[in-house]
Amino acid sequence: MTEGSAPDPLFDRRMLEALVCPLTQGALSYDPERQELVSKQAKLAFPIRGGIPIMLVNEARPIE
């Protein structure tokens, strides 16, 4: 981060109560280290960019 720049907004964990996996409609878990929302059912991790979850299947990272 450079001097005078604002830090990236943090993900509001209260969003987890409203968000579901777009593929399975199942629950998501938050991975703060990778800044992702994880759908264990779909085996996908959805990125969070600038504090905004990107809930597009084609943007998700496959997980094992």
Amino acid at 19: L
Rounded to whole angstroms, the Cα distance separating 28 from 13 reads: 11
Q: Is residue 47 in a domain?
A: yes
Domain around 30: 13-62
In this structure, how many other beta carbons lie within 10 angstroms of the beta carbon of residue 5? 7
Q: Is residue 54 in a domain?
A: yes
36 touches 26 (CB < 8 A)? no
Q: Is residue 4 in a domain?
A: no
Single pTM value for the model: 0.80
pLDDT at 43: 98
Q: Is residue 23 in a domain?
A: yes
* Mean pLDDT in order along the chain per 10 residues (64 residues): 50 82 95 94 96 95 96
Number of domains in the chain: 1
Kindly report the CATH number assigned to the domain that includes residue 20. Answer: 2.20.25.10
Q: Is residue 7 in a domain?
A: no
Q: Is residue 35 in a domain?
A: yes
